[in-house]
Chain A
């Protein structure tokens, strides 16, 4: 499956990565080689094989519905780039 620059640009947009034209071309080269390597997968017959998402066949354990966390806003916001009145600030979002 050939990779085109438009694919890289689309992925960069979806992943919210600013990429210059030069960088985009570089990524096309790198990613193409990686995907060529990955394409070896297509040669295996996986008919009837179900996908494996987790290495162990374990099932989800459930947590009791209890409030165990206390307010730690000040601690958590110490590592935040911009806060005001307890809110995280971002550039104005227009809906």
Chain B
């Protein structure tokens, strides 16, 4: 069952080949066997999942079903779930049980899907390797010495290892696309505002966006049909019609204009990654697409701009974790200042503190204009680069990350870790959608092709990705661990 895509599983459930309870039990067994090694889940909600599965089977028997009824999924532990711990990968929230569901969780539940549990992640989504989790690092199913990427590393590893057919992730600077690339799965970061952020614990509010991580673009399309749309609880969610993302999956690509940003093929790009990407582009050419080089001249300023804007927003967003109304509180505080300072020092990990300090410093008096205002101006230039490029081409293609997954513990220096996100981060600053699809393997580690479109071009990205997956089978390949535990 685990080697099937979500779309295939839905068909099997419909035909009665197996029940949701059987399917859910299968994944729970897989989790039990493999996750001691991978550490991709923080919380597994087995009993609740089986109850939901039984309910789904009854609903199906009664004829009351949608396409995804009875499909089990995993949720990044950043989405608030009623009655189930939501830790955001932090000691700060180790005891936090949200009194409500995130809108994404509500929508998935309303569609009849089942939650297997909450996946591991970099603390407060700050990281590119999933090594910054209070619950320990996650291992890459393709190579246990390698990181799965981050911050949605748990979601990516779980899907890659066949512990869940699909998972929800979030992406602030590449946190869906980079782990999807490192783990050989398909991950879509929608346009900013396309999916509600309500109940999704904020890292950087003007950049955060939730999206699906699955085995195929088609699976992502089905999930997007469920989660996309306006939410009255999120002022930044967009009131705009949602298309059926599966409808255009099979549209032919002849005449598609592909742009290759020359800045995405420069120094620092591993040759094997470049080769896989160029090979993938050739597949598109064979389908009738045309390719040209384009320029995104401010690419190299994306990381500097991001590391002003994201920490600034984070420093403010994370102030609510003060030990007063929820979350970790230190023992025997002598006064309010002591309560704040020790609760936060004990509750947050190093990388989170680093970003809070950076954000606090850059927003403070005397530095605000030089850092924050400047970064916001550069942000406009970066967005304009993309808008200009999309005047010329339909989609942009390039690598999702400069290298395949690196080794656990390999990036000790924060800046060298940050530079991993060179190809993904500008996309969040511009608010455009991007998808990463498996496009090769190097040394047994997957390589991701990143495809970018203009605002609200998700349907087109899914179409372009799906056509590639009709012509290739990179997305169907599974790591050994997925088979071993079958």
Contacts and interface: CB of A to CB of B under 8 A. Distances in A.
Interface of A: 1, 3, 7-8, 10-12, 14-19, 27, 30-31, 33-35, 37-42, 44, 46, 49-56, 58, 60-61, 63, 72, 75-76, 78-82, 88, 90-93
B354 A80 contact: no
B45 interface: no
Interface stretch (B156-164, B230-238, B264-272, B394-402): B230-238
Interface string B400-437: 00000000000001110010000000001111100000
Given A37-B307, A81-B326, 11 more contacts: A12-B357, A17-B341, A38-B375, A41-B305, A42-B374, A50-B380, A53-B376, A72-B99, A76-B325, A79-B99, A91-B333
A14 B97 contact: no
A11 to B, nearest CB: 4
A92 B323 CA distance: 15
Interface in B368-383: 370-371, 373-381, 383
Given A16-B322, A40-B300, A52 B307 contact: no
Contacts, number: 176
B336 A93 contact: yes
Interface stretch (B36-44, B275-283, B358-366, B478-486): B358-366
Interface stretch (B26-34, B217-225, B342-350, B460-468): B342-350
Chain B contact-residue range equals 35 or more
A41 B301 contact: yes
A15 B301 contact: no
A22 to B, nearest CB: 13
A8 B191 CA distance: 35
A33 B415 contact: yes
Contact of B380 (A8, A18, A49): A49
Nearest to A35: B358
Contacts of A54: 192, 206, 236, 431
Contact of A41 (B304, B345, B455): B304
B193 A56 contact: yes
Contact of A79 (B96, B380, B431): B96
A79 B329 contact: no
Interface string B300-315: 1101110110000001
A92 to B, nearest CB: 8
Contact of A31 (B357, B375, B430): B357
A92 B333 CA distance: 10
Interface string B197-218: 0000000001100000000000
Contacts of B307: 34, 37-38
Contacts of A55: 192-193, 206-207, 383, 428-432, 455
B97 A79 contact: yes
A60 B239 CA distance: 11
A17 B358 contact: no
B353 A49 contact: no
